[in-house]
Chain A
Amino acid sequence: MKQQIVKLLAGMASLGIALGAASVQASPEQDRQDLIKYYTSKYPNVKIEDYVYGALAFDADSKAQYDAIMEFPPFESELDTGRKLWETPFKNGKTYAECLPNGGKMIAGNYPMFDDATGKVVTLEGALNNCRTANGETAYKLGDKKTLGVLTAYMRTLSDGMLMNIKVEGPKAMAAYEDGKKTFYARKGQLNFACANCHVQNAGVRLRSELISPAVGHAVHWPVFRGGDNLVTLQSRYEGCFKQVRAVPPAQGSTTMNDLEYFHSSLSNGLPMKASVFRK
């Protein structure tokens, strides 16, 4: 059965039949442009720059609430806690700023980054944990709001305004990108939904009471504080998506999750980073 499908796919590819979004070997830049074209032809009045606001770009009433809350966000003390973690030196006296490129400022848009040495995607959370282990500290648990969560909530704000700039260079990086793309477009779970079913085909559409956000612009604004102070990281949100389609989520920091974040982040290339924002 499986072989038959593979044969069928190979046959279609050789005939030059495009499999739509699932077609292989399009360049990441081409993928991004194609998606933008899809969204903008469907919603000519919504500017791509506003996609950083997610679903709020499609709903003025929601955006006004976002603006009112961002005026003085209720999660400021969490960011303060994160700043303290960021500034506190490791036991050996070194700091995160010394460990990361450019003192940790204006770099978040380069992550996730493909590391040729290990042949793996490194997320910003992973890079922070690498700093910890390189300096004799234990790594934080991924998705832990109280440690890595608030640390990145603050640290990412140091890159606010930087344009997302995910690079996919070389065959190994391309393979990781393609793996992430596959996860994004593959149907999964009891509901048999792919990420793309909601965030491409139905972006800007209501799913019951929810207005669905577009995939372009997603990756620039994490973590978010839902309801004002509940911190959610990007991979925690992925977990939520998997569960919502009744699929078992891969572990945070797994190759599947990191590759997904790599692909997903590249879709926001060229859009400004804005960390730690309010979402409902």
Chain B
Amino acid sequence: MAEPMRIRATMAGDVADVKVLMNHPMETGLRKDAKTGQLVPAHFIQEVTATLNGKEVLSADLGSGISKNPYLGFKVKGAKAGDKIVVNWVDNTGDKNSAEAAIG
């Protein structure tokens, strides 16, 4: 159901520059639907984890204050080209998504 997440990971010196774009509406629960006038229920990613070759390098808790289609950039020292980055997220409804990329 959820659309794929995109990961771009490139080496800059000995640091991996990782950029992730998730597809998610990130509804706060405070927004009213323009047509019905009803509150749109909260629906947002709560947890994001990233691993490098299976080892956790980042674990984030997100609130609904993150923009729609969340963007996350981070940098990992000591990584090398070809290493595998895996990113997982879980939202407040239990929906999940996962994607992986090799560092280019």
Contact = CB atoms under 8 A, between A and B. Distances in A.
A77 B8 contact: no
B67 interface: yes
- Among B20, B67, B68, B69, max chain A CB count under 10 A is at B69
A77 B68 contact: no
A210 interface: no
Interface string A74-90: 11110000000000000
Contacts of B3: 77
Contacts of B69: 74-75, 77, 228-229
B71 A72 contact: yes
Contacts of A72: 6, 8, 19-21, 71, 73
A145 to B, nearest CB: 15
A61 interface: no
Nearest to A75: B69
B67 A77 contact: no
Interface string A217-253: 0000000000011000000000000000000000000
B23 interface: yes
Interface in B1-21: 3, 6, 8, 19-21
Contacts of A77: 3, 23, 69
Interface of B: 3, 6, 8, 19-21, 23, 67-69, 71, 73
Interface of A: 71-72, 74-77, 228-229
Instruction: List the 7 closest pairs (A to B, CB-CB), nearest first.
Output: A74-B69, A72-B21, A72-B19, A77-B3, A77-B23, A72-B71, A76-B21
